[in-house]
Amino acid sequence: MAVAFDEMNGPGGDLRPAYQELSRWLKETPPNALEYRRQEAELLFRRIGITFAVYGDAEAQERLIPFDVIPRIMSAKEWTLLEKGLKQRVRALNMFLRDIYHGRDILRANIIPDDLIFQNPVFRPEMNGQDVPHDVYVHIAGIDIVRVDADNFIVLEDNARTPSGVSYMLENREIMMRLFPDLFARHRVAPVEKYPDELLSALRSVAPLSASAEPTVALMTPGVYNSAYYEHSFLADKLGIELVEGRDLIVKNDEVFMRTTEGLKRVDVIYRRVDDDFLDPLTFRPDSALGVPGLMSAYAAGNITLANAVGTGIADDKAVYSYMPDIVKFYLAEEPILKNVPTWRCREPKDLAYVLDNLGDLVVKEVHGSGGYGMLIGPAATKATIEAFRDKLKREPEGFIAQPTLALSTCPTCTASGLAPRHVDLRPFVLTGRDHVTIVPGGLTRVALKEGSLVVNSSQGGGTKDTWILDE
């Protein structure tokens, strides 16, 4: 594996321009001051209740995501490029989804094999031929980006279902501004606080035609036991919309209403943080108590907008991901600005053979996995784990893809033995409304706190950093 690119001290150890002021500040600041601030930050997070639940871990039902106080900094120039690439990618994702559930030009052009779509458990036949308001499928996308050098941003994953983490982007900034006012005064950091406004206006813009001029938007959560519940309540609060659970909603005559103290009130747009499977027990899992019976029929009648739309999982599939460069070219006739990680599709025998021969060097992921679960990192895995994966791959090759182990870029991070480089990724949040795509400058930087670790997922011991885009 190549030596990782460090975002502060570039190749050869030259301080990169965006980090100059931070480096100066770090030299002036005694190390124990950083530790003190770190503790203060932790206390703030706990007081505010910014916690998440780790499934299967009864002891630590509410945990904090470790927060690293050293910001990750990008220049305006880097951001501009990234922003352009992200908008292009999300535009293509939306066109792809519309096509898959309507004309299927891309299948007829033989760019993607039919069975990858039709045999895919996240493909939703219920959505065939169904129009969604304003043709927007992915209203909120969280695109995971990594860097391997100064010039290239690479997309690791497209999260097109119910991406989370944006509350950390916002709260990390709030806490950093409280803890380090001086550091902010010495930089020109582009603000992220407009995100809730942008989100609300995107959601309102996609209200169905039958909605009133002042559409009612609600955020639907699986409830207080969900791992991302804090974020749901945080966003509902910032947007000034009701935080609803399935049991708060009722469908009558194909319209969706919420139960209020003044009787039923119509809802026009649901920003749902509930997976497809649990939305409507009449259509999907009958055993689900989280959903709303009849929701899908109101959806089909065009009386409710679901954000994100039902069936976006197909764009989030890691095997479909491997076709993204072709998808961008097919719909937009443009070269993709953001690169993909080279990907072996284990469903293809030739690729599978290569993957099986090189398991020790590759990262193997489940096509529908998320949160860093069910993943093999070859170079870091024991022999037994590798062999277990070999069996899984042989049994169900279509369930996996493999990628080379990337040398993710690093950023200086507080560790027990002082500042040290740790691997990071970035999840910017891309909003798509009726006629425009917006991204607040920044995103959630996740950092693998263990030395050498490449797994940044919070469920796997990763932490977060504030992400600064310098306004020049």
Question: Which residue ranges make up the site for other proteins (CB under 8 A)?
Answer: 46-47, 49, 223-224, 229, 233-234, 236-237, 242-245, 247-248, 258-262
Q: Which helix (H) or strand (E) holds 68?
A: strand 67-74
Residue 59 Cα to chain centre, angstroms: 27
Structure tokens at 378: 């070859």
> How near is the Cβ of 196 to other proteins at its closest, in Å?
13
Is the Cβ of residue 49 or residue 191 nearer to other proteins in the bound state? 49
Rounded least distance, CB 252 to other proteins, Å: 16
With respect to other proteins, which residue has the nearer C-beta, 39 or 128? 39
Helix (H, G, I), strand (E, B) or coil at 443: coil
Element (H, E) at 99: helix 76-100
Spatial distance between the Cα atoms of 140 and 273, rounded to a whole number of angstroms: 11
CB of 247 to other proteins, least distance (A): 7
CA distance 76 to 142: 20
Minimum distance from residue 224 beta carbon to other proteins (Å): 5
Rounded to the nearest whole angstrom, what is the least distance from the CB of residue 67 to other proteins in the complex? Answer: 18
Q: Which is nearer to other proteins, 61 or 253 (CB)?
A: 61
CB of 306 to other proteins, least distance (A): 19
For other proteins, the closer of residues 168 and 234 by Cβ is: 234
Q: With beta carbons less than 8 A apart as the criterion, state whether 152 and 84 touch.
A: no
In the complex with other proteins, which residue's Cβ is closer, 197 or 237?
Answer: 237
SS3 content of the chain, % helix, strand, coil (to 5): 40, 25, 40
- Of the pair 51, 130, the CB lying nearest other proteins is at 51
Choose between 1 and 60: whose C-beta lies nearer to other proteins: 60
Smallest separation (angstroms) from other proteins to the CB of 260: 6
- Give the Cα separation of 309 and 322 in Å (integer): 22
CB count within 10 Å of CB 293 equals 16
Smallest gap from residue 315 Cβ to other proteins (A): 31
The smaller minimum CB distance to other proteins, of residues 43 and 380, is found at 43
Residue 242 or 351 having the CB closest to other proteins: 242
Angle, alpha carbons 174-52-229 (nearest 5°):
85
- State the nearest-atom distance from the C-beta of 163 to other proteins, in Å: 21
Q: How many CB atoms lie within 10 A of CB 431?
A: 24
Q: How far apart are CA 162 and CA 159, in angstroms?
A: 7
- Compute the C-alpha angle 144/450/43, nearest 5°: 85
Structure tokens at 263: 């009787």
**CB 137 → other proteins: shortest distance, Å?**
27
Query: Of the two residues 224 and 420, which places its CB atom closer to other proteins in the complex?
Result: 224
**Distance of CA 113 to CAs 93, 96, 319, 321, Å?**
17, 14, 11, 13
Nearest C-alpha neighbor of 414 from the set 155, 156, 41: 41
Pick 221 or 467: Cβ nearer other proteins: 221
What lies within 8 Å, CB to CB, of 72 at 6+ separation is 7, 411, 424, 426, 445, 447, 465, 466, 467, 468
Least distance from C-beta 421 to other proteins, angstroms? 34
Give the shortest CB-270-to-other proteins separation in angstroms: 14
Q: For strand 429-432 and strand 140-147, is the pairing parallel, antiparallel, or unpaired?
A: antiparallel
Nearer to other proteins, 41 or 324 (CB): 41
Helix (H, G, I), strand (E, B) or coil at 352: helix
CB 279 within 8 A of CB 295: yes
Q: What is the DSSP letter of 470?
A: B
Q: Could you give the CA distance from residue 2 to residue 370 in angstroms, rounded to a whole number?
A: 26
Q: What is the dihedral of CA 141, 142, 148, 149, to 10 degrees?
A: 70
Q: How many CA atoms lie within 13 A of 57 on its CB side?
A: 12
